Amino acid sequence: MPVDAATAGYPAHRPRRLRTTAAMRDLVAETRVDTADLIAPLFVRESIDAPIEIESLPGVYQDTVDSLRRRVAGLADLGVKAIMLFGVPTTKDAVGSGAFDPDGIVQVALRQLRADLGDDVVLMADLCVDEYTDHGHCGIVRDDGRSGAYVDNDATIEVYAKAAVAQADAGAHVVAPSGMMDGQVGAIRRALDEHGHAAIPILAYAAKYASGLYGPFRDAVDVEIVGGGDRKGYQQDPRNAREALVEVRADLEQGADMVMVKPALAYLDIIHEVRRHVDVPLAAYHVSGEYSMIKAASANGWIDHDAVATEHLTAIKRAGADLILTYFAGWFAERAAGKDTT
């Protein structure tokens, strides 16, 4: 694009000079999203014999153990070398035993994946009990006599500690507590150390907000909170920003190796602020609702799928995230791989 001759030289600084060609724009781009930054969230469901597509998450599946093995191998071939695994069990109970049972679906899947892939892919396991409890809360529920059910913090972190050991025993490379109980990272760190897993890092879902954007995820894991309850008693209030730093610092003091902000796009200010204060790797979770909004709007022809998906991931990195958990991981990797060959 030629600089207008009539006004050339005025003003002296013309940012458009650096936007004239695609090659020029690529040269000066400040932010790049790389396939190696991405972590694919995946779901493995007990007792099914074929993968089931999740209606509210088009292109995302509840896998069998075998279809999961194929999916992870395929992602690895495309360069996605990290996954976050969630389990969908057939039976649930009050304490979420499936989360720490060595035969629980995630532990079974982890053993297979580790046998298949060794250390080629970083196997992360989401560490929570909501998928495994019959009431759908992220912990042990008590009745406090006032507001109905509430989650007992200290009883819950003992369950998390057991789940961490079970996941590490089964082959997880990283455990990722997502329940937002106070002291969970410290309890998990101690349990891992005591059981010979001192080398297993913790990715803490440190600043996790009580968000409406997790809606499609709850379909993915068949979780419904009993009595129409919510998680506002343990997840963060979306109105609070400084509180995120309190959470992040607490997790780092307790031994978190990496921290996460979740959701991502509606919380770019939090990502930016956490990035300014911590030096450990920072992850952001581009959550189910953020993905589904793009899928739904683009299916209606209202937005351009590829442009908006790329823009979201770029914005999350620009805000300061090093790693992005995203349901777009496979799509992004395929596209990046395609580009490399042209």
Query: Pick from 250, 275, 214, 252: which is nearest to 261 by CA?
Result: 275
The answer to the question of residue 130 lying near ligand PBG (CB under 6 A) is: yes
Number of H helices, E strands in the chain: 11, 12
Q: With CB under 6 A, what is the number of residues at the site for ligand PBG?
A: 9
The answer to the question of residue 63 lying near ligand PBG (CB under 6 A) is: no
Of residues 81, 92, 262, 295, which has the active-site annotation?
Answer: 262
Contact of 38 with 326, CB cutoff 8 Å: yes
Comparing CB distances to ligand PBG, the nearer of 59 and 196 is 59
Residue 16 CB, nearest approach to ligand PBG (Å): 39
Map tokens 């013309």 to a residue.
Answer: 14
What the block records as the tokens of 329 is 């991981």
Of residues 208, 295, 317, 339, which has the active-site annotation?
Answer: 208
Binder among 287, 294, 321, 329 for ligand PBG (CB under 6 A): 287
Residue 265 CB, nearest approach to ligand PBG (Å): 12
Per CB under 6 A, contacts with ligand PBG among 229-248 are 231
What is residue 203's three-state secondary structure? strand
Comparing CB distances to ligand PBG, the nearer of 81 and 231 is 231
The answer to the question of residue 128 lying near ligand PBG (CB under 6 A) is: yes
Taking the C-alpha atoms of residue 128 and residue 168, their distance in angstroms, rounded to an integer, is 14
92: annotated active-site residue? no
Binder among 126, 247, 251, 273 for ligand PBG (CB under 6 A): 126
87 beta partners: 44
Residue 288 CB, nearest approach to ligand PBG (Å): 3
Query: Pick from 323, 212, 325: which is nearest to 274 by CA?
Result: 323
262: annotated active-site residue? yes
The answer to the question of residue 67 lying near ligand PBG (CB under 6 A) is: no
The answer to the question of residue 62 lying near ligand PBG (CB under 6 A) is: no
Comparing CB distances to ligand PBG, the nearer of 14 and 122 is 122
What is residue 82's three-state secondary structure? strand
* Number of other residues whose CB lies within 10 A of the CB of residue 340: 9
The answer to the question of residue 174 lying near ligand PBG (CB under 6 A) is: no
Comparing CB distances to ligand PBG, the nearer of 139 and 201 is 139
The answer to the question of residue 288 lying near ligand PBG (CB under 6 A) is: yes
Residue 282 CB, nearest approach to ligand PBG (Å): 17
The answer to the question of residue 37 lying near ligand PBG (CB under 6 A) is: no
* Number of other residues whose CB lies within 10 A of the CB of residue 214: 22
Taking CA atoms, 208 is separated from 116, 128, 154, 237, in Å, by 32, 13, 19, 9
Taking CA atoms, 10 is separated from 15, 297, 333, in Å, by 12, 42, 43
Taking the C-alpha atoms of residue 67 and residue 333, their distance in angstroms, rounded to an integer, is 19
Per CB under 6 A, contacts with ligand PBG among 198-217 are 214, 217
Q: Is 119 exposed, middle or buried (0-12, 13-18, 19+ CB in 10 A)?
A: exposed
Taking the C-alpha atoms of residue 155 and residue 139, their distance in angstroms, rounded to an integer, is 8
Residue nearest to ligand PBG (CB): 217
Residue 225 CB, nearest approach to ligand PBG (Å): 8
Catalytic residues: 208, 262
Residues that bind ligand PBG (CB under 6 A): 126, 128, 130, 178, 214, 217, 231, 287-288
